[in-house]
């Protein structure tokens, strides 16, 4: 299905991601440039993310996909040499504004990492961690149960919540990390290749989960797997490496359209497997 | 291809010398075993010698009596209590300072020349001879702070001596905590301190405690700095707090060894047995704690 060849459209869609002028985006980047030290990583990225949709980010290795994802919850600034210009707007507020506390941003924009990273604590404590650090005073048992159910893990672990999170299988660990992220009730969930360390069955479960979660929150997922992007996402953003060596956003469009009628020849080359 | 390979005369085929390499492998294996045995044999000989001399001296009388000019009456009660008091206050002073410094250096300090300068010098401090710390303690705590030759002055001096060891061990333990856990914590909206307190410290606790106990074990055995600050005294009463005059086990042992009578040499051996028991208990505790912490994390 990704082999359809359509004549390339004019590539003017690059800087105007919402082609019909919609402004209902929950997250927007404007003129986003990013450096690690002297390495130019992202060049002038303008991208809109719509609420309650799954947005997939695809592109060849080294095009700055993960870096781009981490711009949305200010994780990049944990690296000392990181530098960002431009703006990332979340609910009409620039999260890089001086007055904004990154801790508050990360509460609202959760993240699941490439390699499952449960804390060396019990399953219960893993899920309760987020609510605890954010000062949640309510019924912790309930929030743990709800979160594990939302992450489709409850039935497998409900009888031994005291067991270490590290004792679970890789796929279960990743769902535990999703439950952990959901427990602080974020509006957006960032996923950085969440299935790359998992076997196909575990991957399928996570993909099903992503489709269910779409009803409740906005998901941005970086994936190396174009089939996965096609299966689970509503919109897809394609990044590639520009002449400058930095990653650029080539186009973002409805997944269906991007894979069938890409507007940019670079996108077409990538999805048909002629490059990357 | 294979036809060509077959055509190469047998004499030209490269044949590595197996025998020689195998022999040198065995030789190195032998050397390594001998090196290990050297250490073990020395330790064994030392323990045997001390225990045959000293173990019959160790009884309740020995532990509960004060030192005396008469060998039959002499015990190391004051020295043992002095060592324990000093150890307790050394731990109270050195542990929070050492762990705090390690947390700052690993989790808070920016990576600049000043931080690197501090780190380098902490490593250097770990190599400074202990007598130098003794002189510092004498000048700073005994004289300038006018504490006198008391337990607290000794503890503060010992704390200075083992601080670099605790800092270095704690930094290693903190650095061994994977960054993925730090990121996971941050991503849930934790502040830096919450991340350190609830993720890094629990994971590093085993290594930090082990390092601290080993450093304290060093403090029990140190003699020179305490002689310098004036703990080399005849103490015939119980030290009952941080501001009492004191002596410690190694100094009492040194005292007895330096006397000419043979009976006191046996007492010294008995003192060494007591010191070794205290040391080995501390080390076993360190091993046990590390084991338990690691098991809890898996």
What is the fold, at CATH topology level, of the domain defined by A27-271?
Rossmann fold (3.40.50)
Using the Cβ of A164 and the Cβ atoms of chain B, whether some distance falls under 8 Å is answered with yes
Across the range A33-45, mean pLDDT stands at 93
Q: How far is B105 from chain A (nearest CA, A)?
A: 15
Residue A232: per-residue pLDDT: 94
- Assess whether B265 and B147 both reside in one domain: yes
Rounded Cα distance between A116 and B294, Å, is 20
Q: How far is B203 from chain A (nearest CA, A)?
A: 7
- Assess whether B53 and B71 both reside in one domain: no
Which of left, alpha, beta for B96 (phi over 0: left; psi -120 to 50: alpha)?
alpha
Assess if residue B10 is contained within a domain: no
The reply to whether residue B181 touches residue A119, judged by beta carbons under 8 angstroms, is yes
Distances (CA, A) of B222 to A10, B10, B94, B150, B152: 80, 69, 15, 16, 16
Closest by CA to A267, choosing from A65, A59, A18, is A59
Assess if residue B255 is contained within a domain: yes
Name the 3-class secondary structure at A148: helix
Q: Choose, out of B107, B184, B199, the residue to mutate when testing the contact with A (most A CBs < 10 Å).
A: B184
The reply to whether residue B188 touches residue A104, judged by beta carbons under 8 angstroms, is no
Is pLDDT of B1 > 50?
no
Q: How far is A134 from chain B (nearest CA, A)?
A: 7
Q: How far is B159 from chain A (nearest CA, A)?
A: 32
- Assess whether B262 and B233 both reside in one domain: yes
Across the range A80-89, mean pLDDT stands at 92
Rounded Cα distance between A54 and A59, Å, is 16
The reply to whether residue B190 touches residue A103, judged by beta carbons under 8 angstroms, is yes
> Whole-angstrom distance between the N-terminal and C-terminal Cα of chain B?
54
- Assess whether B160 and B192 both reside in one domain: yes
A134 → closest Cβ in B111, B189, B198: B189
The reply to whether residue A184 touches residue B188, judged by beta carbons under 8 angstroms, is yes
Give residue-wise pLDDT tens across range B210-222. Answer: 899 889 988 988 8
The reply to whether residue B184 touches residue A75, judged by beta carbons under 8 angstroms, is no
A133 → closest Cβ in B111, B178, B198: B198
Give residue-wise pLDDT tens across range A249-275. Answer: 999 999 999 999 999 999 999 988 876
User: Of chain B residues 164-183, which have a CB less than 8 A from chain A?
Assistant: 178, 180-183
Residue B25: per-residue pLDDT: 92
Give residue-wise pLDDT tens across range A120-141. Answer: 999 999 999 999 999 999 999 9
The reply to whether residue A103 touches residue B189, judged by beta carbons under 8 angstroms, is yes
Assess if residue B1 is contained within a domain: no
Using the Cβ of A70 and the Cβ atoms of chain B, whether some distance falls under 8 Å is answered with no
Name the pairing type of β-strands A235-241 and A54-58: parallel
Per the structure, how many domains does chain B have? 2
Using the Cβ of A166 and the Cβ atoms of chain B, whether some distance falls under 8 Å is answered with yes
A129 → closest Cβ in B111, B188, B296: B188
At B296, the pLDDT band (50, 70, 90 cuts) reads: low
The torsion of the CA quartet B27, B32, B37, B39, rounded to 10 degrees, works out to 140
Average pLDDT over all residues of chain A: 88
* Strands ordered across the beta sheet of A39-49: A93-94, A82-90, A27-36, A39-49, A247-254, A235-241, A54-58, A218-222, A188-192, A109-112
Q: Choose, out of B177, B189, B294, the residue to mutate when testing the contact with A (most A CBs < 10 Å).
A: B189
Is pLDDT of A210 > 50?
yes
Instruction: Using an 8 Å CB-CB cutoff, list chain A residues near B180.
Output: 113, 115, 117
The reply to whether residue B189 touches residue A75, judged by beta carbons under 8 angstroms, is no
Q: For A64-80, give the DSSP string.
A: SHHHHHHHTTT-GGGST
Assess if residue B235 is contained within a domain: yes
Residue B58's Cβ-side half-sphere holds a number of Cα atoms within 13 Å equal to: 17
Residue B4: per-residue pLDDT: 52
The reply to whether residue B187 touches residue A133, judged by beta carbons under 8 angstroms, is no
Give residue-wise pLDDT tens across range B31-84. Answer: 999 999 999 999 999 888 888 888 887 888 888 888 877 777 788 888 888 898
Assess if residue B8 is contained within a domain: no
- Percent of chain B at pLDDT > 90 equals 41
Assess if residue B52 is contained within a domain: yes
Give residue-wise pLDDT tens across range B237-295. Answer: 788 878 788 888 888 888 888 888 888 888 888 888 889 888 888 888 888 887 887 77
- Assess whether B25 and B104 both reside in one domain: no
- Assess whether B35 and B144 both reside in one domain: no
- Percent of chain A at pLDDT > 70 equals 91
Rg (CA), chain B: 27
Higher pLDDT, residue A1 or B7: B7
- Assess whether B36 and B79 both reside in one domain: no
Is pLDDT of A69 > 80?
yes
- Assess whether B212 and B254 both reside in one domain: yes
Q: How far is A197 from chain B (nearest CA, A)?
A: 14
Closest by CA to A54, choosing from A203, A252, A198, A241, is A252
- Assess whether B221 and B127 both reside in one domain: yes
Instruction: Using an 8 Å CB-CB cutoff, list chain B residues near A166.
Output: 297-298
Assess if residue B6 is contained within a domain: no
- Assess whether B142 and B31 both reside in one domain: no
Q: How far is B180 from chain A (nearest CA, A)?
A: 6
Name the 3-class secondary structure at B231: coil
- Assess whether B174 and B40 both reside in one domain: no
- Assess whether B121 and B263 both reside in one domain: yes
Q: Which domain holds residue B226?
A: 60-297
Is pLDDT of A16 > 90?
no
Using the Cβ of A147 and the Cβ atoms of chain B, whether some distance falls under 8 Å is answered with no
Across the range A195-221, mean pLDDT stands at 92
User: Of chain A residues 97-126, which have a CB less than 8 A from chain B?
Assistant: 103-104, 106-107, 110-111, 113, 115, 117-121
């Amino acid at each position: 299905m990704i082999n359809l060849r359509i004549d390339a459209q004019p590539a003017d869609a690059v800087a105007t991601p919402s082609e019909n002028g919609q402004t209902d985006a929950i997250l927007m980047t404007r003129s986003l440039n990013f450096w690690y030290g002297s390495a130019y990583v992202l060049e002038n990225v303008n991208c809109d993310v719509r609420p309650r949709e799954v947005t997939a980010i695809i592109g060849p290795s080294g095009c700055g996909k993960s870096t781009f994802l981490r711009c949305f919850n200010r994780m990049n600034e944990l690296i000392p040499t990181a530098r960002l210009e431009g703006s990332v707007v979340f609910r009409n507020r620039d999260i890089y504004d001086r007055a904004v506390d990154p801790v508050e941003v990360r509460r609202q924009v959760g993240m699941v990492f490439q390699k499952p990273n449960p804390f060396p604590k019990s399953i219960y404590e893993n899920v309760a961690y987020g609510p605890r650090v954010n000062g949640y005073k309510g019924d912790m048992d309930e929030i743990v149960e709800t979160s594990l159910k939302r992450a489709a893990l409850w039935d497998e672990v409900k009888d031994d919540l005291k067991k270490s999170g590290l004792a679970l299988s890789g796929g279960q660990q990743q769902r535990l990390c999703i439950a952990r992220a959901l427990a602080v009730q974020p509006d957006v969930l960032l996923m950085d290749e969440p299935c790359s360390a998992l076997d196909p069955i575990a991957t399928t479960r996570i993909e099903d989960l992503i489709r269910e979660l779409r009803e409740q929150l906005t998901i941005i997922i970086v994936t190396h797997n174009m089939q996965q992007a096609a299966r689970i996402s509503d919109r897809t953003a394609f990044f590639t490496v520009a002449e400058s060596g930095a990653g650029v956003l080539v186009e973002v469009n409805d997944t269906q359209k991007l894979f069938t009628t890409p507007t940019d020849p670079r996108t077409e080359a990538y999805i048909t497997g002629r490059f990357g | 291809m294979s036809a060509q390979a077959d055509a190469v005369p047998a004499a030209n085929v490269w044949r590595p010398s197996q025998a020689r390499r195998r022999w040198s492998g065995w030789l190195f294996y032998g050397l390594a075993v001998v090196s290990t045995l050297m250490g073990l044999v020395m330790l064994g000989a030392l323990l045997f010698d001390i225990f045959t001399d000293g173990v019959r001296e160790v009884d309740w009388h020995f532990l509960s009596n004060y030192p005396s000019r008469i060998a039959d009456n002499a015990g190391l009660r004051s020295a043992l209590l002095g060592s324990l008091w000093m150890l307790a206050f050394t731990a109270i002073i050195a542990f929070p300072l050492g762990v705090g410094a390690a947390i700052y250096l690993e989790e808070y300090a920016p990576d600049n020349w000043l931080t690197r300068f501090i780190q380098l010098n902490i490593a250097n401090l770990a190599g400074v001879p202990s007598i130098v710390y003794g002189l510092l303690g004498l000048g700073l705590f005994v004289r300038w702070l006018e504490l006198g030759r008391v337990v607290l002055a000794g503890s503060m001096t010992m704390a200075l001596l083992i601080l670099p060891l605790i800092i270095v061990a704690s930094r290693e333990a903190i650095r061994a905590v994977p960054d993925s856990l730090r990121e996971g914590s941050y991503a849930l909206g934790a502040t830096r301190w919450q991340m350190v307190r609830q993720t890094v410290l629990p994971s590093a606790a085993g290594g930090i405690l082990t390092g601290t106990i080993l450093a304290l074990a060093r403090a029990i055995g140190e003699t020179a700095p305490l002689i310098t600050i004036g703990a080399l005294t005849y103490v015939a009463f119980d030290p009952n707090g941080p501001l009492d005059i004191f002596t410690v086990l190694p100094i009492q042992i040194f005292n007895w060894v330096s006397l000419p009578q043979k009976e006191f040499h046996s007492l010294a051996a008995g003192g060494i047995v007591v010191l070794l028991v205290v040391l080995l208990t501390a080390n076993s505790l360190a091993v046990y704690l590390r084991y338990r912490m690691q098991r809890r994390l898996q």
